[in-house]
Structure 1
Amino acid sequence: KYPLSNTSLPAQYARAISAYRFGNMTDAIQKIDALIATQPGNAYLQELKGQALLEAGRAGQAIEPLRRAVSLSGNNTLIRSMLGQALVQSGNPAYTDEAIRELAQTTQRDPDSVEAWRSLAQAYGRKGDIANADLAAANGYMAAGEFRSGQELAARAKLRFPPNSPGWLKADDILAFKPPKIDGQPSGSRQ
């Protein structure tokens, strides 16, 4: 759609996206970096770079552009979720606490974010906090509509928390949930 002679911002953006979508990461990152150089305060260009790196399996390199994107975007929940996922996927234990903070904020703002809950469960698991890992995983299953699996994990989490603690109460709420019926059958019975 855009000839190479067209150097407008939309044309440059389209070429960067095209390189990214066709798997030419070196070219895509160069083009995205050129766009960032013209608009360093554009959160969504930073997000694009972070997303491209994350999806290319370069989670560690995705962290800094995603941190900038969160800051520039006014704490956009979707970008924050992506940052949390990059922190977890980097495999660097030094990022575990930051990942938990980012993903906990994400799940508070967007409790239906299955990926955020699953990444949060991984982060808690890496820290050895199995009760919170089970609770986060339970919430992820519930958000995905997999109620039976969610309630099984909630029951396990509830046993790990002190009675009447916040985690225990959240697990108890999941256990008390009654799935809606569809055509007379409980929904969410899949595994």
Structure 2
Amino acid sequence: MRIKHRILPLILIVLMGVGATASRAQQKDLSIVRDAEIEHILSVYAKPLFEAAGLHPGAVKVYLVQDDTLNAFVAGGQRIFVFTGLILATRSPGELVGVLAHETGHIRGGHLSRTRDAISNAQAISIVAALLGGLAAAASGRGDAAGAGVLGGSAFGTQFFLEYSRTQESAADQAAIKLMERTGWSPRGMVDFLRVLDAQELMLGQRGNPYLRSHPVGYERIQALEHLIDQSPMRDTPVPPELVRAHEMMQAKLFGFTRSPSATFQKWPESDRSDAALYARSVAYMQQARTDQALAELRPLIEKEPENPYFHELEGQILLEGGRVQDSLPPLRRALEISRHETIAVLLAQALIGLQTDEANREAVGILEQAVRTDPDMPAAWQQLAVGYGRNGNLGKSALASAELYYRSGQVKFAREQVVRAKGLLDPGSPDYFRAQDIEFALDDLERRAD
């Protein structure tokens, strides 16, 4: 499976193996997006909220789902899913923080109520496993497959989303206001976004939006929130200008990657020389394989902020996408030096593997090994490691990396095949052999749970 627009640092992981309860007509593929810049911004917003809620920041994960729908939900315990469509619809950082605070309120409150169409425990396990990987890229054995982003997929039922009672919604709202106050945010953003949703509901004349279904708005809810906010000592606290700009840049980048180039050029014509316009158009030109134009749009941003790692990352991606692999290395190295984010490391490793030299391949393997130690839930890293190990002749490690990929995607059959292959190639008693055994035992456990 391929996607219309290739996304390198925006690594898409299509949810797989989910036994959806919705009908086929109601099903759709959802994709988890990995991006260093967006994850950083969401972390800036979310981590203080988690800490204020008494949750360990490392225990709560925020996933970005590539979908135009205005939606966000909690699943699998302490996991928050935010759709790109919702981010693009927010008009300020405070609105997005309000959504995250509300979902954090659901986690803290232990709100696990679901509709009669809710998923079973076994399906929940499948979803959590599916978040961590995919199938097609690893199966292809192509070094550029992860660059395309898609790692396989099957339909995911939209009726999975949680539905909350009015009592739970009210409790989450009140918790969100307190969390925003404790972390220095005006809670106005939350009610502002609810007004947007309420207006959309009235315009549509139906509950057609998943967020509206799972988080009923209603006049009474908005009125109650407005009353609480009027009493808030933080109600008029302004948003720091640097966060406003970061939010605008994140939205411009997302728009460029998730919309057609023509839509980007219509929203930000050449006459618009704002930073957001330059950022969005640089992505759009890259999507059209117009490398020089993409670089020309990006260059003023790099000159203005030479220490911004995400501008260097995009420069490297543009060059790599344009077939200028050697030229992509300096900006990608610079981006990784500043940010140290694992998705940038994977992109650099992909470029190094693309050079097809022994020295570059060894460096790529070292970078990827560090990346998976830091974040083992990086399917693209495991896929590239399988390629890198294979190219240096270490077929046992290559099979083990493939097993990690399939295991983390919930693809039991393919994971087991690679585990058997790895055990036949690895030295018995070695750490890698024991890891293969661990995966084998874990696969047995997954199959027992599915029964």
Question: CA distance change for structure 1 residues 111 and 38 in 2, over 3 Å: closer, same or farther?
Answer: same
Separation (CA, whole Å) in 2 of partners of 1:184 and 1:125:
33
Give 1:64-83 correspondences, 5 Å limit. Answer: 64-73=330-339, 75-83=340-348
Shift of 1:105: 1.3
Aligned to 2:324: 58
Q: Distance in 2 between matches of 1:168 and 1:51?
A: 36
Structure 1: distance between partners of 2:332 and 2:310: 9
Matched, 1:166 2:431: yes
Give the distance between the partners of 1:113 and 1:48, measured in 2 at CA: 20
User: Which stretches in structure 1 are left out of the alignment for 5+ residues?
Assistant: 186-191
Which residue, out of 362, 377, 383, partners 1:112? 377
Alignment of 1:122-161 (within 5 A): 122-161=387-426
Where does 1:20-59 land on structure 2 (aligned, <5 Å)? 20-59=286-325
Instruction: Please identify the structure whose Cα radius of gyration is greater.
Output: 2
User: Residue 184 of structure 1: CA displacement?
Assistant: 5.3
Separation in structure 2 between the aligned mates of residue 25 and residue 10 of structure 1, nearest angstrom:
19
How far apart, CA to CA, are the structure 1 residues paired with 2:450 and 2:415?
Answer: 21
How many residues get paired?
184
> Deviation string for 1:116-151 (max 9, x for gaps)?
111111111111111111111111121222222112
1:8 lines up with 2:274 in the alignment: yes
Corresponding residue SS for 1:60 = helix
- Aligned match of 2:349: 84
The percentage of counterpart residues that share the same residue type is: 35
Q: Is the contact made by 2:316 and 2:328 (CA closer than 8 Å) also made in structure 1?
A: yes
Q: 1:163 Cα shift?
A: 2.0
**Which has the higher mean CA deviation after the structures are superposed, 108-117 or 167-176?**
108-117
Is the 2:289–2:321 contact (alpha carbons within 8 Å) kept by the matching residues of 1?
no
Q: Separation in 2 of the partners of 1:179 and 1:49?
A: 44
- Cα distance in 1 for residues equivalent to 2:345 and 2:450: 39
* 2:286 and 2:321 in contact (8 A); partners too: no
1:86-142, Cα deviation, whole Å (9 max, x unpaired): 111222322011101111111122222221111111111111111111111111121
1:61 to 1:179, Cα distance in 2 relative to 1, 3 A: farther
The amino acid across from 2:312 in the alignment is Q
Cross-structure match for 2:285:
19
Q: Which amino acid aligns with 2:284?
A: S
CA–CA distance in structure 2, aligned partners of residues 161 and 41 of structure 1: 43
Counterparts of 1:58 and 1:176, CA distance in 2: 44
Deviations 1:58-90 (A, max 9, x none): 3333222111100011x1111111111111122
Q: Distance in 2 between matches of 1:145 and 1:52?
A: 33
Alignment CA distance shift 1:27-1:148 (3 Å): same
Per the alignment, in what secondary structure is the counterpart of residue 376 of structure 2? Answer: coil
SS of the equivalent of 1:23 reads: coil
Q: CA RMSD in A?
A: 2.1
1:175 pairs with one of 414, 435, 440: 440
Which has more helix, going by share of residues? 1
Closer/same/farther in 2, CA of residues 157 and 11 from structure 1, 3 Å limit: same
8 Å contact from structure 1 (residues 113, 143) kept in 2: no
Higher relative contact order (CA 8 A, sep 6+): 2
Q: Which moved more, 1:114-123 or 1:137-146?
A: 137-146
Aligned position for 2:96: none
Deviation at 1:183, TM superposition (A): 9.5
Question: Which SS does the other structure have where 2:439 is aligned?
Answer: helix
- 1:37 partner amino acid: E
Q: Is the CA contact 1:140–1:150 (under 8 Å) kept in the aligned structure 2?
A: yes
Distance 1:180 1:130 in 2: 26
Return the TM-score normalized by structure 1.
0.85
